[in-house]
Amino acid sequence: MLRPLNLGCLALLSLLLAACSSAPEAPSRYSQKHDSIPARLPSADELIEPEPSFEPYSRQGNRTYQLFGRTWHILDNVEGYTQEGTASWYGEKFHGHLTSNGETYDMYAMSAAHKTLPLPSYVRVTNLNNQQSVVVRVNDRGPFHGNRIIDLSYVAAYKIGMLKTGTAPVRIEVLQPPEPNTAIAVTTPIAPTSVPQFYIQVHAGADPQRLALEAEKLQQIYAVPATTQPNNGLYKVMLGPFAEPQTNELLEQLRQAGYPDAFRVAVP
């Protein structure tokens, strides 16, 4: 026959259950509980996209892995690889922490996270809402939330106009630079592979707050990257960078909209 528990046992059992239910959460390596947007806009230099170049795959982050009950296999062949789906972005919370291939995440660098592309890979990401695109270097794993296919750095998300929405439908295309082959002799001149890019300077002045508001207004009106830059004690509002045809088209629009002194500046 079972004996009834005495009051002392009941009190002890209650304390144990309460302790279990209120156990502290596991410590996080991040100082922030939730991600956040940084305090400043990207600089003009930070908006320049990386030039894809051949890189050996990293020693870290390129093996089959398991997470959240799923197994992820790294793609062996990414030639011609494209994918469409939802993109998200990550910022302040992860800034300065290690990526999956052992590098340090910089929210002002043109980088991204993908679940199965080899690390590093270069991809072009096009926002299907506005057709703006950006080239990023994939050096991290993720995202593992919902049906998202790529996590962009803050600056990359800023450049394709998806910060306010948080997510956007995108198309990603892998860019594969050829592996160097020193055995091939080049006998004919090679055309330059980089396309000239330009900024458009719209304003200059001594009030950085007023100019920052103007940059934000232009970004919203024209859906293009805009920032302010110091210039010999003053500040200037810069749009871009863009390829030459887009630069000339936007420059004409700005002049017709009441910015007759706007002019283009070549990216060094």
Mean pLDDT of successive 10-residue stretches along the chain, which has 268 residues:
43 38 42 64 91 92 87 93 96 84 91 96 96 96 90 95 93 91 49 69 86 82 79 83 83 89 86
Quote the pLDDT of residue 13: 39
Give the start-to-end residue ranges of the domains of the chain: 45-175, 197-266
Quote the pLDDT of residue 127: 96
List of residues 6+ apart from 155 with CB closer than 8 A: 42, 46, 47, 107, 108, 109, 110
Distance CA 9, CA 47 (A): 66
**Superfamily in which the 45-175 domain is placed by CATH:** RlpA-like domain (2.40.40.10)
Distance CA 54, CA 180 (A): 7
- Residue 250: both structure tokens together: 């936007």
List of residues 6+ apart from 69 with CB closer than 8 A: none
Closest CA to 267 of 209, 217, 194, 211: 194
CATH annotation of 197-266: 3.30.70.1070
Quote the pLDDT of residue 8: 44
Quote the pLDDT of residue 59: 87
Quote the pLDDT of residue 28: 44
Distance CA 160, CA 225 (A): 8
